[in-house]
Amino acid sequence: MKFTVQVNEGPYQHQAADSAYQFTKAVLEKGHEVFRVFFYHDGVNNATNLTTPPQDDRHVVNRWSELAKEHDLDLVVCVAAAQRRGIVDEGEAKRNSKDAENIADGFRISGLGQLIEAGIQSDRVVVFGD
C-alpha cells in the first residue's frame, strides 16, 4: 500500500509529530511505500535545523532527517506555512532577501500542489494533528 503522511503540528507542542514519525517508520518496516510526508501549518516547525533539544530528549527533526536519508523519503514543507514561521531554504532566502537558511537536511520547500499530487498518487492519506 502507498501512503502519504500529513503532519500539522510542531515537534514539541503536540504528540502528532511523534505519532506521525512512528507511523511512517512502522509503515516502511512493514514493506509499504510512503509517497510523501507533507508538513503543513505548525508542522513545518519539524523542518528547522535550529531546533536544539536537551541532550536527554528526543530530537524530532533529526529523526525525520535520518528516516528520509535511510528510506529516500520526500519530506515536503508547505512554502506559505514555512514563510509565516520563518523557515527558509536557500532559494526562499534569496528570493526574500534573507541572510540565512534554516531548513534541515532531507526537507524541501514546495507548494500545496505537492499535497494534492500525493493524495492522487497514494492509496491512503493519513493526517496527524488538527
Which residue segments constitute the domains of the chain, with CATH numbers given?
A: 2-128 (3.40.1260.10)
Diameter over CA atoms, the chain: 44
- Give residue 64's pLDDT: 98
Dump pLDDT digits (tens) for 25-76.
Answer: 999 999 999 999 999 999 999 999 999 999 999 999 999 999 999 999 999 9
78 belongs to the catalytic site: yes
Measured CA to CA, the distance from residue 9 to residue 91 in angstroms comes to: 24
Measuring CA to CA, how many Å separate 11 from each of 36, 52, 80? 18, 11, 19
Question: pLDDT > 70: what percent of the chain?
Answer: 100
Given 7, 34, 78, 104, which residue is catalytic?
Answer: 78
pLDDT tier for residue 5 given thresholds of 50, 70 and 90: very high
- Give residue 17's pLDDT: 97
Of 78, 52, 59, the C-alpha closest to 17 is 59
Helix (H, G, I), strand (E, B) or coil at 47: helix
CB 46 within 8 A of CB 39: yes
Question: H helices of 72-112, where?
Answer: 79-84, 90-95
Q: What is the pTM (predicted TM-score) of this model?
A: 0.96
